[in-house]
Every structure is written in structure tokens, then in C-alpha cells.
Amino acid sequence: MEFAGFGTWLAAFLTLAAFSFLYKDNPFFRFAESLFAGVSLGYYVGNVLNQTLVPNLFEPLAQNFGTNWDLLVPGLLGLMLYMRAAPRIGWISRYALGIYVAYYIGVDFTRRIHGEVLPQIARTIRPLNSLEATTLVSLIFIVGVYSVLVYFFFSKEQNAVTRPLARLGTSFLMISFGAAFGFTVMGRVALLIGRLNFLILDWIYPTIGLQ
């Protein structure tokens, strides 16, 4: 009989401990939950240190300070963020935060406009002058977008014209929520399948000598 390794047994125990919550709350679940939170945080801190700070800041500064001295600026901005912990000098962190927010607005602004807003508007504006199957799809698409926009227009009270349109928009929204929910169920089931595959194929079968 061939036994699975210690890591597999530990992973199997933690998986079962997590699943045990489905029966009821218990110390094994609490232990697994706390361990997971702690390990995740530790991994993230180690990851940032080894993959970001060391290769991008510490090493370049240590190896060639004359060329890379400008890296002190982002390093200092990062340190300034932690000033929030000291109430008397907490205001310093706002400057770093302001630069950080401004940077991402600059990066994101172009991305949002060219990557989302303009292409999506262009897709909505379709010619309806020919009788093809795609014309019908485009028509449904346009009615859907328009009615949902009417539903979300809160600046004016709905009247006899806009109320039915808004109701139609609600139907389109419900259909999209239903599709999203279906996909979510599929995603969660996939994770369950992944865990059960591990338990059966990687833990139980080798332990009882089936593989």
C-alpha cells in the first residue's frame, strides 16, 4: 500500500476541515479558516517583498545607487503611506495617496475611454437598413440598451411613455442577472469538483493503493 505524502494529508485535512462548516460551525473549521487567512497574508507579504521590493527597489539601489537614486522617490512615497499609523503626522500620507490616485486616474482614463466607452458605444450604434438575421439581433440589442438606460434615468419622474420602457429594461436586467447567476453556480461547482478530485484522486486512491 502506497501512502500519499505529508503535504497531501495536510491539504486533505484542511479541505475536510473547511467542508465541515457545511454540517455546523466547529473548531476544525475555525482553525482552517484562521490558518488560511494567516498563510494568505504571509504569502502576500513575502511575495511583495521578494518579487517587488527586492528586485525593483533594494537591489537596484544597492548595486548602482548613482544611476538608480530616483527610485528613492517611489520608495519614499510608499513609506509616507504608513504615516497614517501616527496620528500627529498622519497628514503626510495624504500626499502619497494623492499622487497614487492621480497616477491611476491618468493610466485608467485612457483605458476606460478607448477600451470600454468608445468601443461599446460603437457596437451599440448599428445600421438597421437591411433585413438580415443580424439586424434583428442588433434591434434587440438597441432596445435592451435603451430601455435599461431609461430604467436608470432618475432625474425625471416616469410617465406613461417611460414607465413601460423601464419595465422592459428591468426584464433585460433580470435576464442578464440570471445568466450571471448561472455562470456563478457553474464556477462554484467547478471549485468543488477541483477539491473533490484532489480528495479522491490524489489522496484517497493512492492511500488505499488504487493508483
Query: Whole-number minimum distance, CB 25 to other proteins, in Å?
Result: 13
Q: Which is nearer to other proteins, 170 or 197 (CB)?
A: 197
* Residue 72 CB, nearest approach to other proteins (Å): 18
* Residue whose CB is less far from other proteins, 1 or 191: 191
| Least Cβ distance, residue 156 to other proteins (angstroms) | 27
Q: Which is nearer to other proteins, 145 or 162 (CB)?
A: 145
Taking phi first (over 0 means left), then psi (-120 to 50 degrees means alpha), and beta for anything else, what does residue 209 get? left
If DSSP codes are grouped into helix, strand and coil, which group holds residue 122?
Answer: helix
- The runs of H, that is alpha helices, within 52-91 are 59-63, 65-68, 72-81
C-alpha cell at 96: 502619497
**Alpha-carbon torsion, ordered 40, 43, 48, 50, to 10 deg:** 180
- Footprint of other proteins on this chain (CB under 8 A)? 22-23, 40, 43-44, 47-48, 51-52, 104, 107-108, 110-112, 114-116, 119-120, 122-123, 141, 176, 179-180, 183-197, 200-201, 211
CB-CB contact of 56 with 74 (8 Å): no
